[in-house]
Amino acid sequence: MFSAQSNVIVGLEIGTSKVCAVVGEIGAGGAPNIIGVGQARSRGVRKGEISEPELAEEDIRNAIVEAEQMANVEIRNVYLGVTGNHVRGFNNRGVHPVVSADREITDEDVQDVIKNAKAINLPPESGIIHTIRQLFYVDGHHGIPNPVGMFGARMEVDVHVVQGNVNRLKNSIRAVKSLHLEVDEIIFNGLASSLAMLTNEQKELGALVIDMGGGTTEYCVYADGVIKHTGVLAVGGDHISNDLAYGLKVPLGRAEQLKFDHGSALVEESIRGRQIELPGEVGLPAKTINLEHLRRIISLRLAETFLLIEQEIAERGLLDYLRAGVFLCGGCARVPGIQRLLENTFMLTAQLGKMSAISGLSPALDQPEFATGIGLVKIGSLQHKRKTTGGFAENIKKSIAEFFRR
Ligand SMILES: Nc1ncnc2c1ncn2[C@@H]1O[C@H](COP(=O)(O)OP(=O)(O)OP(=O)(O)O)[C@@H](O)[C@H]1O
Ligand SMILES: [Mg+2]
């Protein structure tokens, strides 16, 4: 039996393709050192949400046990990643009059204006997952990161709110709790991945992070150091396999294998006319596949997904802010040629998979599929730092907002 350690943070992603538990140990400086990862093939999740709880629980248990063995610790709590097409991000503004006689803005004023920004009329089944502060206005002057100590009569703040369907979020939480694990906090997968991928400088310059997994694609836009937009599409690499099965008239298993062995996001002139010979197997006749056709199917699905994201970002006027470019993680970052496809779609530089925002990550763990789990550990490590330096709950909430902001 391992011992539980208070300086251990665990991130858990219950993904469509794999369940993944990442274990981080907080070092002396407060930064996490990744000491273990456990993975299990996911069988009870569709489009990022649990559809077969019993299978999901078994897979979670297996991933947790593997992570415990690798890290040599007992896991009791997790930061739980959540996603699904019910998750939405939008911006809201709060207003607050500064009431003190001398009009000096205090910490309480900041709390109040954020509280006002959170007062949103949501449908009864909706719940707020995150309220992330962006920038403040003082008497109409915009772009103020922290107004405490300034003088003014009227204060406003923009926040980015991530909301989801409470019942659907509860399904993930219950699966974790059924294994006698506590949920420290739920975090939107897209935010977690963006924290693993981006440095503060890149957030400041402006960046788009896309996490394209098996059943969902999350994205997150930073501009001027703050989160401006988040979203989820219920499309992932599994849809590419489905398209291939349908388009090439092969069973899904064969389509998946063809994607791994011959897939590319680019259809180059040089492959024109090339054929792939599939040998006959039990119950399956031999078949000839046109490689150009195969790659065109992949390329079309990927381009369509990226274009949907591009349109959404363009509609919000955010494309011109992405000066650090586009960053892709999730298993689909492994598709050959996908970097070029991203660059062609967004007309921006694109980077794949590397977790530049985490120091000391071994190459074995620096894999695009682990971005969510690693980002969850990063968030957890900040929370841990606040708790151990004597912060109260509200301080913790505040700090997480600051963390996303810078
Ligand atoms: N080399 C590769 N070529 C093509 N596709 C790949 C490759 N490696 C992984 N994938 C695809 O990546 C997807 C899995 O990615 P990932 O592990 O990030 O998903 P997930 O986190 O479990 O799912 P989600 O986040 O959507 O719930 C699968 O569709 C898989 O086929
Ligand atoms: Mg994922």
Nearest CA to ligand 1 atom 25: 213
Which residue of 334, 367, 370 sits with most ligand 1 atoms within 8 Å of its CB, as the best mutation to test the pocket? 334
Ligand 1 atom with the smallest distance to the CA of 215 is 26
Q: Is 61 in the pocket of ligand 1 (CB under 6 A)?
A: no
Task: State residue 394's pLDDT score.
Answer: 45
Ligand 1 atom with the smallest distance to the CA of 238 is 29
Q: What values do phi and psi take at 194, rounded to 5? A: -65, -35
pLDDT of 406 > 60? The answer is: no
pLDDT digits (tens, 9 = 90+) for 166-204: 999 999 999 999 999 999 999 999 999 999 999 999 999
- Measure 18 CA to ligand 2 centroid, in angstroms: 8
pLDDT of 402 > 80? The answer is: no
The two three-digit tokens of residue 400, written as one number: 């997480």
Q: Is 48 in the pocket of ligand 1 (CB under 6 A)?
A: yes
* Helix H or strand E encompassing 160: strand 154-165
Mean of pLDDT values over 239-256: 96
* Percent of the chain surpassing pLDDT 90: 80
Q: Is 41 in the pocket of ligand 1 (CB under 6 A)?
A: no
Q: Is 231 in the pocket of ligand 1 (CB under 6 A)?
A: no
Mean of pLDDT values over 353-380: 88
Q: Is 330 in the pocket of ligand 1 (CB under 6 A)?
A: yes
pLDDT of 400 > 80? The answer is: no
Q: Is 16 in the pocket of ligand 1 (CB under 6 A)?
A: yes
Ligand 1 atom with the smallest distance to the CA of 217 is 26
- Measure 313 CA to ligand 1 centroid, in angstroms: 24
Spell out the domain ranges in the chain. Answer: 88-163, 199-355
Task: State residue 365's pLDDT score.
Answer: 87
Ligand 1 atom with the smallest distance to the CA of 259 is 4
- Measure 15 CA to ligand 1 centroid, in angstroms: 9
* Helix H or strand E encompassing 240: helix 237-248
Q: Is 331 in the pocket of ligand 1 (CB under 6 A)?
A: yes
CATH H superfamily, domain 199-355: ATPase, nucleotide binding domain (3.30.420.40)
* Percent of the chain surpassing pLDDT 70: 94
**Which residue, among 108, 84, 98, 80, has the nearest Cα to 11 in the 3D structure?**
80
pTM of the model: 0.94
Start-to-end CA distance of the chain, whole Å, equals 39
Ligand 1 atom with the smallest distance to the CA of 48 is 27
The two three-digit tokens of residue 172, written as one number: 């993930």
Which residue of 12, 13, 14, 17 sits with most ligand 1 atoms within 8 Å of its CB, as the best mutation to test the pocket? 17
Which own/partner contact pairs does 391-398 have at CB distance under 8 Å and 24+ positions apart? Answer: 394/111, 398/111
In the CATH scheme, what architecture does the domain 88-163 have? 2-Layer Sandwich (3.30)
pLDDT of 54 > 60? The answer is: yes
Nearest CA to ligand 1 atom 12: 331
- Measure 256 CA to ligand 1 centroid, in angstroms: 11
Ligand 1 atom with the smallest distance to the CA of 13 is 21
Q: Is 44 in the pocket of ligand 1 (CB under 6 A)?
A: no
Q: Is 237 in the pocket of ligand 1 (CB under 6 A)?
A: yes
* Helix H or strand E encompassing 383: helix 371-388
pLDDT digits (tens, 9 = 90+) for 208-217: 999 999 999 9
Distance, CA of 323 to CA of 146 (rounded, Å): 24
**CB within 8 Å of 397: residues ≥ 6 apart:** none
pLDDT of 357 > 90? The answer is: no
Alpha helices for 121-236 (secondary structure H): 166-177, 189-197, 200-205
- Measure 211 CA to ligand 2 centroid, in angstroms: 7
Ligand 1 atom with the smallest distance to the CA of 240 is 29
Task: State residue 4's pLDDT score.
Answer: 63
pLDDT digits (tens, 9 = 90+) for 303-346: 999 999 999 999 999 999 999 999 999 999 999 999 999 999 99
**Dmax of the chain from CA atoms?**
84
Sort 394 into a burial class: Cβ within 10 Å, 0-12 / 13-18 / 19+: exposed
Which residue of 41, 332, 338, 367 sits with most ligand 1 atoms within 8 Å of its CB, as the best mutation to test the pocket? 332
Q: Is 236 in the pocket of ligand 1 (CB under 6 A)?
A: yes
pLDDT digits (tens, 9 = 90+) for 87-127: 999 999 999 999 888 889 999 999 999 999 988 888 889 99
